[in-house]
Structure 1
Amino acid sequence: MTSSIAESWARIEAWLVRHAPVTYANLAPPADPGSLAATEEVIGMTMPGPLAESLLLHDGTGLRTLLPSGWYLLSAEDIARTWSLRTEIAGSDADGIQDSTPSEFGPWWNRHWIPFASFGNGDDLVIDQFGRIGDASHETGCHFDAHPMWSSFPELFAHVAAALETGATLDRYEWVIDDGELDWEIL
């Protein structure tokens, strides 16, 4: 199902224009390449290509929901801020080397994770060094879901675009429109 990030964003944008114009109007403009470089300097890693490509199209979504179950995309600056805060809180516990096999719940934080979306409550979606998407809970640690939409950043965007276009449920969520804004409800 994987499409390029640019293709998925084009599909998502076209759908938002027709169905959720408030969400579309509030998408951030492209990130400045200098802000990506500054973020990479803070986190000490090169941004994965698909995440960088997404940020160069839209530097986050502000506090507007885009992903199921109500996640909003972080800007490059917010990625750096969130990574720094979590790394500071975790201290030396953030230094562990992550293994390549998904586990039910991992540590609370790992400095090799890059946060890219937030729920607004201290929980973040992250990309690990293997490209997997994890849900870094502020209470229980990080969980890497087996659902195919969470297997990579491109897969996530391709699944969201397809669900918006077809009205299909996505990992137990369906989209709803409230006053021109996209939201997701659990079934």
Structure 2
Amino acid sequence: MDSSIDAVWQQIMAWLRIHTPVTAATIRPPAPAEQIKATRNALGMQLPRDLLWWWGLMDGVDDEHDYRTAFAVPGGYMPLTVARVRDEWARLSRYPDDDCCRPGGHHQRAAGDATFGYCSALIPICRGLDGAVLAVDLRTGANHGRIMNWMAQAGAHSIPWVNITAMLTDTAQRLDRYHPAPETPPRPGSPVIGDDGSLIWS
């Protein structure tokens, strides 16, 4: 797994440096080990190895400063810094979903199941400008580690990415299929280079 994360992230970064250097510049260096440790301690859950490995390659983007040009995965979700992950988790899980969350870190629903409120076993990893977040689902079950989309008005729903590795692999593959053709409208979910030279997802 580690080598596949390394390879796919190198593929993404190589594409960004060639096609959208302004977006490549928004990706922060690897997360400091002490920040990763602080976040793991704050969450109190065993985090997926591919997530920890990804944090060892980058520490998200400064989405509050560079949000117009910041790197995002398909759908327009910007990776959070490791410090922001624990802050967002603390904020969102302050009022856990009564239909799922139980004392002692137990949950009524399995990984991948929809929730209306915020389940405290969802670890936010990316956020959109509309307030939605992508989160890794750490509830037990066959879908443990699946990426969930959560929004205050709609709750949490599973999306096709089964884990971090799948999310990054899909991102790299979409970038690899990029072909500038101004006369042809881009397909939904395809990469587009904006007038400012930044990466945009159609």
Q: What TM-score, normalized by structure 2, do the two folds share?
A: 0.80
Please name the residue that 1:41 is paired with: 41
Q: Distance in 2 between the 1:134 and 1:101 partners?
A: 9
Where relative contact order (Cα < 8 A, 6+ residues apart) is larger, the structure is: 1
Confirm or deny: 8 A CA contact 1:20 1:180 kept in the other structure.
Answer: yes
**Which residue in 1 is equivalent to 2:5?**
5
Find out whether 1:163 has 2:174 as its counterpart.
Answer: yes
For residue 173 of structure 2, give the secondary structure of its aligned residue in structure 1: helix
Alignment of 1:84-99 (within 5 A): 84-90=90-96, 95-96=101-102, 97=107, 99=109
Q: Distance in 1 between matches of 2:54 and 2:8?
A: 10
Partner of 1:134: 148
Q: How far apart in 2 are the matches of 1:152 and 1:67? A: 13
Give the whole-Å Cα distance in 2 for the aligned partners of 1:66 and 1:102. 23
Q: Deviations over 1:76-100 (max 9, x none)?
A: 1000000000011337667241533
**Equivalent pair of 1:87/1:109 in contact (CA under 8 Å):** yes
Amino acid at match of 1:99: R
Superposed displacement of residue 101, structure 1 = 6.2
Alpha-carbon separation, structure 2, partners of 1:175 and 1:165:
9
Note the 1:42-121 alignment, pairs <5 A.
42-63=42-63, 64-90=70-96, 95-96=101-102, 97=107, 99-100=109-110, 102-103=112-113, 105-121=114-130
Give the Å deviation of 1:172. Answer: 3.5
| Structure 2 residue corresponding to 1:175, chosen from 178, 191, 194 | 191
The percentage of aligned residue pairs carrying the same residue is 28
Counterpart residue number, 2:67: none
Root mean square deviation of aligned Cα: 2.0
Structure 1 segments, 4+ long, off by >6 Å, are none
Higher radius of gyration, 1 or 2:
2
**Structure 1 gap ranges (5+):** none
* Count of matched residue pairs: 177
Flag the 1:98–1:156 CA change in 2: closer, same or farther, 3 A: farther
1:151 to 159, 162, 175: 162
Output the amino acid matched with 2:87.
R
